């Protein structure tokens, strides 16, 4: 591989427009020095650029509510490595249903841990 950008291996984007993603890298933008993202915040992808290289409009994702416009008028994409897909985890709300139904909660068990032997 040479130092120029023409020999880069292609990178696959596994995101799609409309997908919810969570930010995992909120470091400031290297080109403009602005902090655009918040770590742990959920964003929605509104578009994806798949052009090679990082020249505007470039390759990456565009997010709802965030526009990074270069002085030449092109909108820059954000590196998709800054995000991961949101994982939907179903929540078990059975305990809340039992509380609403008047089922008394079970008593918590008191755990007794053995005391460490005092030094002699």
pLDDT value at residue 20 = 95
Q: 39: how many CB neighbours lie within 10 A of its CB?
A: 11
- Please indicate, yes or no, whether the overall pTM of this predicted structure exceeds 0.75: no
What pLDDT was estimated at residue 30? 73
Q: Where are the domains of the chain?
A: 7-85
Q: 63 and 45 in contact (C-beta within 8 Å)?
A: yes
Per CATH, the number for 7-85 is 2.30.30
Q: pLDDT at position 39, please?
A: 95
């Amino acid at each position: 591989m040479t130092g120029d950008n023409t020999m880069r291996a292609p990178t696959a984007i596994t995101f799609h427009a409309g997908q919810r993603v969570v930010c995992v890298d909120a470091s400031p933008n290297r080109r403009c020095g602005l902090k655009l993202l918040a770590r742990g915040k959920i964003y929605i992808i509104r578009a994806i650029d798949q052009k090679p290289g990082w020249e505007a409009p470039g390759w990456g994702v565009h997010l709802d509510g965030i526009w990074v416009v270069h002085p030449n008028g092109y909108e820059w994409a954000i590196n998709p490595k800054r995000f991961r897909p949101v994982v939907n985890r179903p929540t078990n709300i059975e305990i809340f249903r039992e509380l609403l139904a008047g089922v008394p909660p079970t008593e918590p068990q008191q755990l007794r841990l053995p005391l460490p032997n005092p030094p002699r």
